[in-house]
Amino acid sequence: MRAIEFLVESMSRRNFMKGAAATGMMAATGANAMQYKPQPEEYNVLSPNTDNELVLQKVARHNGLKGSELAQFLGQMKHESWDFSKMSEKPKFKDYFAHKYDIRYAPKTARMLGNNKPGDGERYHGRGYVQLTGRDNYRMAGEAIGVDLVNHPELAAKPDVAAKIALWYWKTRVKPNVQNFGDTTSVTKAINPALLGLQARHQNFKDYLRIL
């Protein structure tokens, strides 16, 4: 009897140990699964207008921008959009856009922008992060991103559309003309040939380099 009792007890202990080992393996597996769980990507921002800034930064990152290029891109767009606060150019006086961009009042500028009809100055004034301006630019950007901006120019002020426009502009007008993204002067020339706001743009670049 004692031999049988010993055998039963021994088998019970072995089964218990197997169960404990299995439980331990499951716990370890669970711990490893928790350890390797993908973490949400973090975004650092500079402006108080975080919604607009985050939309642009996410689109830029998801399209491969990083390092000094990402810092320059965000820094330049931050300046162009008045700290991400304005998605549409504001008129300074009555008929401001007509006098600045329209074929009736500013024929030279209008021709450069492709504004060939009266009212195009108002219709295709600056919008979005990069302040897209002019019928030709609206047409080319719209074709590139698949949005009818010629017939619906107001869409260029929507952050999600504006982010795609800014990225298109960067990849077609800026990036091909810049060899070193640490050189804020050459980057700015591709956006604003007069280099307006160069010091502020460079400070934005340095600030983004620090937090990204």
Neighbours of 128 (CB within 10 A): 29
* 34 vs 31: CA distance, rounded Å: 5
Token pair of 148 as six digits: 């009818």
* 120 vs 133: CA distance, rounded Å: 10
- Every domain of the chain and the residues it spans: 50-87+156-211
> Tens-of-pLDDT digits for all 212 residues of the chain?
444 343 334 444 444 334 444 444 344 444 444 454 444 467 899 999 999 999 999 999 999 999 999 999 999 999 999 999 999 999 999 999 999 999 999 999 999 999 999 999 999 999 999 999 999 999 999 999 999 999 999 999 999 999 999 999 999 999 999 999 999 999 999 999 999 999 999 999 999 999 99
Question: What is the value of pTM for the model shown?
Answer: 0.79
35 beta partners: none
Question: At a CB cut-off of 8 Å and minimum separation 6, what does 81 contact?
Answer: 52, 87, 128, 129, 130, 131
Alpha-helix runs per DSSP H in 93-183: 96-101, 107-113, 120-123, 135-145, 159-169
Q: What is the pLDDT of residue 141?
A: 98
* 136 vs 150: CA distance, rounded Å: 9
Q: What is the pLDDT of residue 25?
A: 38
Among 145, 187, 148, 183, which Cα is nearest to 163's?
Answer: 145
Token pair of 146 as six digits: 């698949």
The answer to whether the beta carbons of residues 88 and 81 sit under 8 Å apart is no
The answer to whether the beta carbons of residues 133 and 101 sit under 8 Å apart is yes
Distances (CA, A) of 42 to 66, 167, 206, 209: 14, 20, 19, 15
Q: What is the pLDDT of residue 41?
A: 65
Q: What is the pLDDT of residue 42?
A: 78
One-letter amino acid at 100 equals: K
Active-site residue set: 80
Long-range pairs for 104-112 at CB < 8 Å and ≥24 separation?
A: none
Q: What is the pLDDT of residue 20?
A: 42
